Amino acid sequence: MKILVCGGAGFIGSAFIRNYLKNNPENEVTNLDSLTIGSNLKNLQEIEKNKNYQFIKDNIKNQKIVDDLAKNVDVIVNFAAESHVDRSIANPKTFLDTNILGTYSLLEATKKYDNLFIHVSTDEVYGDAENEDSFTEKSIVNPSNPYSATKASSDHLVSAYYRTYGIKCITTRCTNNFGPYQFPEKLIPKTIIRAKKDLKIPLYGNGEQIRSWIYVYDHVQAIEELISNGKFGEVYNITAWNEITNKTIVENILKLLNKSKDLIENVEDRPGHDKRYSIDASKIQKEIKWKPKFDFNESLKDTVEWYNKKSSWWESLVDEKSLHPQPWTLKWE
């Protein structure tokens, strides 16, 4: 099997490639990535010399390159996305360009060359679950910020191409990921790095926002199993059912680092901040028998230890913007 992975130098995309080639050493993977914020080829150093792996630097909006690659593969897995909510508040246009127009380019290629298209989306498209039960795949999407709105738009586009053109496609909606190689702007790595530097740890508002967390290797394994066993045209929620407040996450990390809770600093909440994300993944468990394998507390401990040992990976990525306590207040191009 030949697979085109779009956005394969990012956090989740690179985890997918490492995991996939480990499980399927005979298959071929092409990684298409424009190397924007959050992408890093160092994430893939362990497999860069693998004869069944190749990297191409380009943008998924480049229809010609996408078509040239699509005609020679069986599956397209799309991780390529602008994904940080804070940056989407400051500059929505970049998110529209990549998350909607980029998906359009991939769908056009899929329609032309009859690939299987795996569209990797997010639980954030459902919006706030503060006073709701966990959302299922049949729940109405109700995004609250520019990032989740662009992902919801691309989800609808995929669904429309399935209904109109009969393409082979599957959409996944996953909860918050964590693990090694995550870009420093995200909550867990930012907390680890700021704490190691004895900088204040910013908590938006009261820090009681609830997120459901999943170790990245559970997520990418679910996607791999959907390639073989998922039903075309379907949406699958993916979660490990670890609903935890941001405050608790930060406190747990500080405890693992033997740092004082006095480092925590409550800052003004970001605009439109959802209070709770919660999804139900019964469907994927029932239909393809996937279930998470990694324990949250052990995986968080492993992640903290990884960042402790791998400062050579993250030091070059850290700057004023990536560690800023309120990134939505900055100017982003």
Selection from 13, 300, 20 nearest residue 179 by Cα: 300
Q: Which residue from 144, 148, 125, 147 is spatially nearest to 135, judged by alpha carbons?
A: 125
Q: Which of 53, 147, 217, 236 is the catalytic position?
A: 147
- Find, among 200, 184, 214, the residue nearest to 86 by Cα: 184
Burial of 65 (0-12, 13-18, 19+ CB in 10 A): middle
Q: Is 320 among the residues known to form the active site?
A: no
Active site residue 147: yes
Q: Are 152 and 286 in contact (CB under 8 A)?
A: no
Torsion of CA 122, 124, 130, 135, to 10 degrees: -40
Measured CA to CA, the distance from residue 114 to residue 120 in angstroms comes to 18
Q: Are 181 and 14 in contact (CB under 8 A)?
A: yes
Please identify which of the residues 82, 86, 124, 274 carries the catalytic annotation. Answer: 124
Q: Which of 28, 33, 123, 128 is flagged as catalytic?
A: 123
Distance CA 111, CA 187 (A): 37
Q: Which residues are catalytic?
A: 123-124, 147
